Structure 1
Amino acid sequence: MGVKIGYHLTKTAKERNIKQADVARQLNYAKTTVNGYFNGEPAPHDFIESVSVLLDDSEFNQSVAHQLFRTVPAMEAVQYHENPVVLDVIQKQQSDERKQHHHEAIMIMTKKPEYITEKEFEKLEMYADEFLDELLVETKLVIEILRICGKSIMTAVNERQVHWIEQGYIRK
């Protein structure tokens, strides 16, 4: 079973000035097959993995991961510029909105679940939603900062894993 990645594949290839024929040749796929994926035919997971490594593009990979696993989508701002300064301003606004609900959410989370009211569950969900808003913007901000540095988020994550293991944030 495949996933339709044509929009994101076309957008990323255009941004990177990579032609369909280049993708086909480098990944050892028939040109017609790759053309189909560019034009919306479902792509198998092995192709998606290979093209993700080839393109090494943070937004492409985030968009594909969202389609495959329903993770946080790539931010594609309609109303705002997507440069680090603007994204930092938006992130601060999102953080401030979440912090307005922080104390109340913490107090609710001190309760045993059976004592939390439906209204309190709604408040906790709203608090979590504010985190998701922040996560969406912060991820885009990190991607844009790394783009300036000439890195993808995948490269940066691979480099940072040693630190996270040392800090006990993730397992080796």
Structure 2
Amino acid sequence: MNFSKTFRKGARKKGIEQTWLATKIHVAKSTLNGYFNGENTPLDNAVKITKEFDDFETSMSFANQVLGLFKLFTGPRFKHDVLSIDAFTAKEDSEADEAYARDHIRWLLADEDLSHEKKKALENFGAEDLDNILMHLERLDKICERTGITPMAMFARRMPYYVKQGYMTVEDLTDNQRHNYCQTLRGSGSDGI
């Protein structure tokens, strides 16, 4: 796959030079230069490159390309300063709460037999909820940038809490997540952040 746009943007944002990156992921600089200029990148190298950026926005863009996962907002209407993101997040919270109450979403979720009209109301709420989730991810990204912790590291720190609350089980964690979970338990002596 071609990840050149994602790689160039991530390197520019993080101030990473190709020479350093090529050494770090064990490829020739000319090979890496090809990846940055549109040549197809083997998936294992693309993952290594993306991990080296250690940047949530770049990781989300990569995940969007590879897996079709959500992409963060990057359009011209969207300003990436913290206060704008917080204002957009509050707006989306309000719109989602309004739709939830107006359309009686709790009842629709419990309803076994949805009419076309009810399905449409549920779908519309789903769209509002998606907007809300994406705005919260944007805000989380900015919080992490300001505190110097990646969302993935924050997630790892929270795993003991999620397991304790029954939101996740240790068995459901990947090997890497389980390792981080055990390290967090040993290192903090608490239930996470």
Q: Please give the TM-score of this superposition, normalised by the length of structure 1.
A: 0.91
Tell me the equivalent position of 1:105.
105
The question of whether the paired residues in 1 share the 8 Å contact of 2:21 and 2:49 is answered with yes
Alpha-carbon distance between aligned partners in 2 of 1:42 and 1:116, rounded to the nearest angstrom: 46
CA shift, 1:76, in A, is 1.4
Query: Of 16, 20, 29, which residue of structure 1 is paired with 2:14?
Result: 16
The question of whether the paired residues in 1 share the 8 Å contact of 2:82 and 2:139 is answered with yes
Alpha-carbon distance between aligned partners in 2 of 1:119 and 1:19, rounded to the nearest angstrom: 54
CA shift, 1:136, in A, is 0.9
Query: Of 40, 47, 50, which residue of structure 2 is paired with 1:49?
Result: 47
**Could you report, residue by residue, the CA deviation over 1:93-113 in whole angstroms, capped at 9, with x for unpaired residues?**
11111112213222222221x
Describe how 1:42-121 pairs up with structure 2 within 5 A: 42-103=40-101, 104-112=104-112, 115-121=113-119
Alpha-carbon distance between aligned partners in 2 of 1:85 and 1:64, rounded to the nearest angstrom: 26
Letter in 2 for 1:155: A
The question of whether the paired residues in 1 share the 8 Å contact of 2:7 and 2:50 is answered with no
Letter in 2 for 1:106: R
Identity of aligned residues (%): 23
The question of whether the paired residues in 1 share the 8 Å contact of 2:92 and 2:128 is answered with yes
Alpha-carbon distance between aligned partners in 2 of 1:158 and 1:90, rounded to the nearest angstrom: 27
Alpha-carbon distance between aligned partners in 2 of 1:57 and 1:165, rounded to the nearest angstrom: 26
CA shift, 1:162, in A, is 1.8
Tell me the equivalent position of 2:28.
30
Letter in 1 for 2:70: V
- More deviation, 127-136/50-59: 50-59
Question: Is 2:136 the counterpart of 1:134?
Answer: no
Unaligned 5+ runs, structure 2: 171-193
Alpha-carbon distance between aligned partners in 1 of 2:5 and 2:97, rounded to the nearest angstrom: 36
Structure with greater contact order relative to length (CA < 8 Å, sep ≥ 6):
1
Question: Is 2:164 the counterpart of 1:160?
Answer: no
Q: Please give the TM-score of this superposition, normalised by the length of structure 2.
A: 0.81
The question of whether the paired residues in 1 share the 8 Å contact of 2:35 and 2:41 is answered with yes
CA shift, 1:164, in A, is 1.4
CA shift, 1:77, in A, is 4.0
Letter in 1 for 2:110: T
Query: Of 134, 148, 151, which residue of structure 2 is paired with 1:150?
Result: 148
Query: Of 1, 4, 7, which residue of structure 2 is paired with 1:6?
Result: 4
CA shift, 1:57, in A, is 0.9
The question of whether the paired residues in 2 share the 8 Å contact of 1:21 and 1:31 is answered with yes
